[in-house]
Structure 1
Amino acid sequence: MRIKEQRVLRGPNLYAETPCLLAEIDAAGGPGMLPDLHERLLALLPALPTGAAKGLASGASIDQAIEPVAMHLQTEAGAPAGFSHTVASQGGQYHIACGYECEQVAALALATTVELLNALVRGEQYPMAEALERLRAAAARHAIGTSTAAVLAAAQRRGIPSMRLLDQANLFQLGWGSRQKRLQATITGATNAIAVGIARNKQLTKTLLEQAGVPVPAGATVDSLEDALRVARQLGGIVTVKPLDANQGKGVTTTCGTPDQVERAWEHARGYGPRVIVEEYLAGRDYRVLVTGTRVAAASWRRPPFVTGDGRHSVRELVECENRNPARGDGHTKVLTRIALDELAVHTLAAQGYSADCVPAAGVDVQLRGNANLSTGGTAEDVTDLLPDETRELCVRAARTIGLDVAGIDIVCEDIARPLREQHGGIIEVNAAPGIRMHQYPSHGKPRNAGAAIVEQMFGEDDGRIPVIGVSGSTGATTTTLLIGHAARMAGMRTGMTTADGVYISGNRTMQGDCTGYRCARSVLASPEVDIAVLETGHDGVLQHGLAFDRCDVAVVLNVADDGEARLQAVVARGASRAVVLNAEDDRCVAMAADLKERIEVLYVSLDAENPVLLRHLEGGGRGAYLLDHTLVIADGMRHKALIDAHQMRISAGGVARHLLASALAATCALAASGFGDLEIRDALRSFTWDSMAAAPCSNASDAHGVSTGAAMDS
């Protein structure tokens, strides 16, 4: 058994509306049934879902195990998928489509499945533990951070499209074209770079906040241990020591009351940067307030990592037990982070009279860190509803003083429900790129949709979408695309187009050659210069990678060569969210109308004014366009309006180039469905020519018709 071919379908495709991995498996000459297949698989994968296990126990062949095992391995890796589908063909060939959360994990899971089943056939032992470790490592390597995932999920719920710009980084584009925004973790494209720099410099942050009337702890930045000890003496009492520009609580020691403690804290902080802050220790609890724009979105009480004694287990054993909590993981991959029993934890334990091997009494909480960051194993409790208006106003002012659109405000005080100045509380830090998992998934209290608050700050009421028109057909698609794009440019819209001739952005050809596939369409949707996208979508592109968009406003299917092509072009039609333009003279096109989503308008076009499909549609109140005595007519139910004489169209060759007139009819309906008026459509049809685009850098290329292309307006 082997994988003959494998490809990733990143958009809607033949098998699903969501991305999937498609593989062709050659199982010809395989062993067929293995009597003990069910038992041997369960021995290796005891958590295999009951339904799959029962199916295999009832006498399934080894080929039938590929799909359920591959799906289960994705789940074991921590990246579960939503669906799978197997199609058997002749001669032991199988096409398997597996949904995925992470495409790299899906590919590795399928390869592992084939290795595993081949080993079972040969009667060999398979190193399942090592394979699972590889899968989990791949899932962790390609995982989207918890905070980023919360923002993306909120965007998805609002219908805002997204795409990952780099496989190895949490850098995303939300929205298409000129209405796009960028996101990395919780830093948005609007986040001020200077503000991020200020937030990293804790002393500068404190100075600006103090000038703005925000309460902050007294302190100073020092470059030597001698200066650190001097500032600690001047402040008197307990001090906090931390690096000047670290984050996530790295290098922070909160309660230093003796010179020895200050020295240890100094050495610890110096491991994260050359300059160190020594500041007044504010007594009380550690709180984090999330500010998005001009409002407080959430607030949490952050508790340092701790374990609770049971009178039987040591601190070390209690930490190991807590770290087995499935909610805890490494870094930011899970809701909580594993607790480190490191040197700082040892010092924190010693301050409480414990060591790692001590057995705390039952019910006693033992703290393992001075700071309460979730990244060091802390937990959080929601306190959003407790914040007084005065504290909310101070937090918003702090974020605006630094210049951040999304900020995490760290507060220390005894009681967050009371105004800060009443209790000698203060703001100790303002953080750019704040983590939001504490608000999304608090250990106690009400979860807050922090991701949605960030999306609202980024987009307001907008959905981030530009109009998208998908055009497909065995002939005439390039002409139709260019006609639609020309009309949009005449209306003052910056237009992005993909065609069989190249990619055009605002009339300039940016890529040359057949650009009707996934990647070229994505380049248009990623361009901030595009107000409307008109995407010629080849059936081969749909076959290889799926659609480049999750949905388009209007889809156009001009004609179909055969049944196989019809299935692929139907994917384009099903992707429409507003309207589909179909050729009434092509039976395969007409059949697509039956598979559209509810409330999707169908517009029919025909060169034959007496076409029965068109006539029935118009009699039923539908819209369409047809040719009558060299006149293009647009119809809306019983209203039929002469749009333009074909002789007035420069590309119609005196009205005899019927294939071009068919494209003009399709473009007319697509424009009408997109909200263009009759006059705008008429002017575009009249002025469109095959002259070279003056601004196109690659103007010597030829399109599918064998002539140089261009859309030029009348002078």
Structure 2
Amino acid sequence: MSTTIEILRLRHLRGPNLWTYRAALEAVLDIGALEDRPSNTIEGLYERLTAWLPGLIEHHCGVGERGGFLQRLREGTWAGHIMEHIAIELLNLAGLPTGFGQTRSTDQRGVYKLVIRARQWEVARQAVLDARDLLCAAIDGRAYDVAAAVKQLKALVDRWALGPSTAAIVDAATARRIPHIRLIEGGNLVQLGYGAQLKRIWTAETDRTSAIAEGISRDKDLTKRLLAECGVPVPEGRVVSSVDDAWDAAQDIGLPVVVKPTDANHARGVSLDVRTREELAAAYELAEREGSEVMVERYIPGTEHRVLVVGGRMVAASRGECAWITGDGVHTVRQLIERDINSDPRRGEEEEYPLDTIRLPENRDVMLELRRQGLEPDSVPAAGQRVLVQRTGLLTDDVTDLVHPDIAELTALAARVVGLDIAGIDLVVQDISRPMAEQGGAIVEVNAGPGLLPHLKPANGKPRPVGEAIVAHLFPPGVAGRIPIVGVSGTRATAAVARLIGWLLHRANLATGVACEGRLYLNMQPVPTAGAPSAWEAGQRVLMNRCVQAAVIESSPRSILDEGLAYDRCLIGVVTDVPVPQGLHDHYITTQEQMRKVLRTQVDVVLPEGCAVLNADCEVCAGLAELSDGAVLLYSERPDHLLRAEHVAQGGRFVTVEDGHVVVAQGGNVQPLVPLQHAGVQALVQRVGLPALLAATGAALALELSPELIRAGLEVAAAEVPDL
């Protein structure tokens, strides 16, 4: 009988959650009879797993050292834990490295929660399913095709994960604690930052990339004319309308020439060193297939280079190489390409590879190059005969440190003339370490949205921090793209607290977005939504709104368990209470200590410059203070609370009720803030309760709003705040 492990539920935790700060996959597993069969009792399991997945030796596990997981496997561990490590290793093999994983038992025998980091949900989900199947096969002694599983995962990575250029920028932003939101699933449109501080990127284009400039760069003839008028050396040439016209242009310019589409991209349809009318006719047909006009220009002898310009300065440079094969008198051109070129580990079909695989007859430029030499894919070159296979598009060597200042200046000028903030400048020179003019070099193309892979993964030389350069272009040092975010969690009057805080921020003349109870408000006006968004979806919509200067987002314990928080960090984190949980049995959350672990998420994400606002009347809630990276403000209905003296003595603020006022105590001072006898305040307390009033007051103080604004805002809140 085959072993079975039942996956009861798969959940996508999209933001900070019970387990980790980042997006994760949570699986609930029922391992059934395997609860009585730890790994050390299953014959051959260790040997099969280590043979199929030798990379498991690198998993430290709880032991904290290389081989730690295998030690646990030998000594005895359970199926859920083994599945966790198999899933992580499969993701590593698929090119989506994942270091985080946890497996914990529940209060139901044989049922476990397995959690792994989910950089991409679709890939992580499949990895967990594959891990289950692989483990069951290993337990039963059945065959399992690991290579096929990894191949499928790689296809999912290629379909769903960010491309390498976009990923490099996002990783650089993450390293600077700049948040990001992916705006298209499976696409490369990404938001960096939140609200009014956000910037957008689409691969290597930004929201500073002018549409006019991009249009100019696509028109190669217009680009050349503008560059020439500004003193940038470019090859002579013009647009042609037919093969005869192209030949006339070539005669005027002087052979050899280059034939290419006017909107050539990634060297598609480009033919170099064209010397005869027959070659020109074939090159014209190749260029015309790209769907734009065709141009003929002077051939510049030398080596192709690509210089990346970001924000008006050169940040990286790559040198191209030609692809050659050498005949042996036995093998065909096709076979030699497969053996000597496509076998290069730098080549592949996916975006992660710096060089493309050459396929015949699909690669028309290669076919043209071969025919110029009198060869076809099935021709057999003579022994020792060198055959040029490909001239263009093979940027392989990093030469950033060799670029002459004159060339760096000219490429930066070319980007400015076209108007691009990020540009890939193609130039041809003999030696990039010498001035361009003295060697007759020229800039041949200016490209918008250049690929970053040649600079991230050069075949030779060191990678360049081009993602960091683009992030620095968008966000100067010290700028993290953040707006003030207030997160509110708990079970008591959290929606009322969120609306009151939003109201006070609105009164402070900040365009404020509020997300609570699945509703959205902008400047305290309801925002129509299609359907009922989840707490995570509502929060994300607020943060994607470029008008929003401050945000207040409510997250219930269930929403944290279902999806995680909608933001990575917040300035202010409010927790109203940590009760004994009710109605969370489907999450196996049944004790107050478990509820504490859920709601600590809100405190865990408070920024160092921020503040946690906690209810001192709930002992467990007040105990969350030790988890805050920022300051802590406590509030209580009891002015004689035992925590008051200690907290104030340590420099903290304590909001409470005293002498008919809401007051804040700090150091030796007690400042009255809100008169409780005011009719508007009495109406507010009657509607939302005193604890909600204190929580909102504490959050407003933590936001550094003035006492006068807080008092005036709360006196009229009952009448002015919608849905309170």
CA-based RMSD of the aligned residues comes to 2.8
**Is residue 2:232 matched to residue 1:208?**
no
1:543 pairs with one of 547, 557, 561: 561
Determine the structure 2 residue equivalent to 1:667: 696
Distance 1:328 1:491, change over 3 A: same
Question: How far apart are the structure 2 equivalents of 1:84 and 1:477?
Answer: 32
1:84-95 alignment runs, 5 A limit: 84-89=101-106, 90-95=108-113
Determine the structure 1 residue equivalent to 2:210: 192
1:325-340 alignment runs, 5 A limit: 325-340=344-359
User: Which letter does structure 1 place at the counterpart of 2:718?
Assistant: T
Query: Which sits farther off after the overlay, 424-433 or 334-343?
Result: 334-343
Determine the structure 2 residue equivalent to 1:272: 290
SS at match of 1:245: coil
Distance 1:552 1:629, change over 3 A: same
Do 1:148 and 1:186's aligned partners in 2 also have CA atoms closer than 8 Å?
A: yes
**Is residue 2:177 matched to residue 1:167?**
no
Do 1:19 and 1:100's aligned partners in 2 also have CA atoms closer than 8 Å?
A: yes
1:35-50 alignment runs, 5 A limit: 35-49=43-57
Structure 1 residue 313: Cα displacement: 9.1
1:201-280 alignment runs, 5 A limit: 201-280=219-298
Question: How far apart are the structure 2 equivalents of 1:627 and 1:658?
Answer: 18
Query: Which sits farther off after the overlay, 670-679 or 171-180?
Result: 670-679
User: Which letter does structure 1 place at the counterpart of 2:476?
Assistant: G
Query: Which sits farther off after the overlay, 200-209 or 378-387?
Result: 378-387
**Is residue 2:110 matched to residue 1:110?**
no
Q: Deviations over 1:642-701 (max 9, x none)?
A: 112112261433x864963322222222122222222222222223224465xxxxxxxx
Q: Deviations over 1:23-65 (max 9, x none)?
A: 0011223483531222333444444436344533445454543
Question: How far apart are the structure 2 equivalents of 1:568 and 1:309?
Answer: 67
Determine the structure 1 residue equivalent to 2:508: 491
**Is residue 2:451 matched to residue 1:435?**
yes
Question: How far apart are the structure 2 equivalents of 1:306 and 1:549?
Answer: 51
Structure 1 residue 123: Cα displacement: 5.4
Determine the structure 1 residue equivalent to 2:389: 368
**Is residue 2:365 matched to residue 1:344?**
yes
Q: Which runs of 5 or more residues in structure 2 are unaligned?
A: 59-66, 581-591
**Is residue 2:697 matched to residue 1:679?**
no
Determine the structure 1 residue equivalent to 2:604: 574
Distance 1:524 1:241, change over 3 A: same
Do 1:553 and 1:576's aligned partners in 2 also have CA atoms closer than 8 Å?
A: yes
1:289 pairs with one of 307, 311, 320: 307
Distance 1:436 1:126, change over 3 A: closer
User: Which letter does structure 2 place at the counterpart of 1:588?
Assistant: V
Distance 1:270 1:416, change over 3 A: same
Structure 1 residue 301: Cα displacement: 2.2
Query: Which sits farther off after the overlay, 449-458 or 237-246?
Result: 449-458
Q: Which runs of 5 or more residues in structure 1 are unaligned?
A: 694-707, 710-715
**Is residue 2:70 matched to residue 1:70?**
no
TM-score norm. by structure 2 comes to 0.88
Identity of aligned residues (%): 36
Question: How far apart are the structure 2 equivalents of 1:515 and 1:256?
Answer: 60
Do 1:651 and 1:690's aligned partners in 2 also have CA atoms closer than 8 Å?
A: no
Q: Deviations over 1:127-164 (max 9, x none)?
A: 44432321121111113212111111221122111111
Question: How far apart are the structure 1 equivalents of 2:514 and 2:131?
Answer: 41
Query: Which sits farther off after the overlay, 222-231 or 254-263?
Result: 222-231
**Is residue 2:420 matched to residue 1:400?**
no
SS at match of 2:704: coil
Distance 1:311 1:492, change over 3 A: farther
Question: How far apart are the structure 1 equivalents of 2:679 and 2:197?
Answer: 34
SS at match of 2:201: strand
Question: How far apart are the structure 1 equivalents of 2:699 and 2:21?
Answer: 23
Question: How far apart are the structure 1 equivalents of 2:181 and 2:125?
Answer: 20
TM-score norm. by structure 1 comes to 0.89
Question: How far apart are the structure 1 equivalents of 2:11 and 2:475?
Answer: 34
1:12 pairs with one of 5, 16, 20: 16
Q: Deviations over 1:332-377 (max 9, x none)?
A: 223443345645335545667988754876xx98643121x24xxx
Distance 1:98 1:307, change over 3 A: farther
Query: Which sits farther off after the overlay, 52-61 or 94-103?
Result: 52-61
Do 2:518 and 2:538's aligned partners in 1 also have CA atoms closer than 8 Å?
A: no
Do 1:2 and 1:26's aligned partners in 2 also have CA atoms closer than 8 Å?
A: yes
Determine the structure 2 residue equivalent to 1:503: 520
SS at match of 2:43: coil
Distance 1:106 1:310, change over 3 A: farther
Determine the structure 1 residue equivalent to 2:64: none
Q: Deviations over 1:542-577 (max 9, x none)?
A: 001111111101101111222143221110011101
1:517 pairs with one of 525, 535, 553: 535
Do 1:498 and 1:515's aligned partners in 2 also have CA atoms closer than 8 Å?
A: no
Question: How far apart are the structure 2 equivalents of 1:305 and 1:667?
Answer: 67
**Is residue 2:647 matched to residue 1:628?**
no
Determine the structure 2 residue equivalent to 1:602: 632
SS at match of 1:166: coil
**Is residue 2:671 matched to residue 1:641?**
yes
Question: How far apart are the structure 2 equivalents of 1:547 and 1:148?
Answer: 24
Question: How far apart are the structure 1 equivalents of 2:532 and 2:492?
Answer: 14
Determine the structure 1 residue equivalent to 2:495: 478
Structure 1 residue 212: Cα displacement: 2.4
Determine the structure 1 residue equivalent to 2:584: none
Do 1:302 and 1:381's aligned partners in 2 also have CA atoms closer than 8 Å?
A: no
Question: How far apart are the structure 1 equivalents of 2:256 and 2:463?
Answer: 34
Question: How far apart are the structure 2 equivalents of 1:251 and 1:126?
Answer: 44
Question: How far apart are the structure 2 equivalents of 1:589 and 1:44?
Answer: 47
Do 1:481 and 1:535's aligned partners in 2 also have CA atoms closer than 8 Å?
A: yes
Do 2:28 and 2:114's aligned partners in 1 also have CA atoms closer than 8 Å?
A: yes
Question: How far apart are the structure 1 equivalents of 2:56 and 2:331?
Answer: 33
Query: Which sits farther off after the overlay, 570-579 or 225-234?
Result: 225-234
Distance 1:666 1:224, change over 3 A: same
Distance 1:458 1:311, change over 3 A: farther
Structure 1 residue 18: Cα displacement: 1.8
Query: Which sits farther off after the overlay, 663-672 or 329-338?
Result: 329-338
Distance 1:103 1:393, change over 3 A: same
Determine the structure 2 residue equivalent to 1:585: 617
User: Which letter does structure 2 place at the counterpart of 1:154?
Assistant: A
Question: How far apart are the structure 2 equivalents of 1:21 and 1:656?
Answer: 41
Question: How far apart are the structure 1 equivalents of 2:316 and 2:693?
Answer: 54
Structure 1 residue 498: Cα displacement: 1.0
